[in-house]
């Protein structure tokens, strides 16, 4: 199983670069997973079209990664 994690850097205090904090979420929503790495990569590519600059690129302060997770027992 795979999960698509979207990471972005945001200021804790608006406009204060010293307060930058990383945030990470399941990009597809709570408890959404993929059966294969290829499905996750396809979703990452589509996410880059809406949350980034397209073609798998997200621009400064943003990134998405596919992470393999253990199947639940």
pLDDT tens by residue, 11-70:
888 778 788 999 999 999 999 999 999 999 999 999 999 999 999 999 999 999 999 998
**Side-chain half-sphere exposure of 38, counting CA atoms within 13 A:** 0
Helical ranges in 1-73 per DSSP H? 37-51
**Side-chain half-sphere exposure of 37, counting CA atoms within 13 A:** 3
pTM for the model: 0.86
Going from N- to C-terminal start, the domains of the chain cover: 2-68
**How many residues in the chain?**
73
């Amino acid at each position: 199983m795979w999960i698509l994690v979207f990471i972005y850097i945001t200021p804790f205090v608006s406009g204060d670069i010293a307060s930058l904090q990383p945030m990470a979420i399941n990009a597809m929503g709570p408890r959404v997973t993929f059966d294969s790495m290829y499905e996750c990569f396809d979703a990452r590519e589509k996410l880059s079209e809406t949350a980034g600059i397209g073609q798998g690129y997200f621009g400064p302060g943003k990134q998405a990664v596919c992470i393999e997770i253990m199947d639940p027992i």
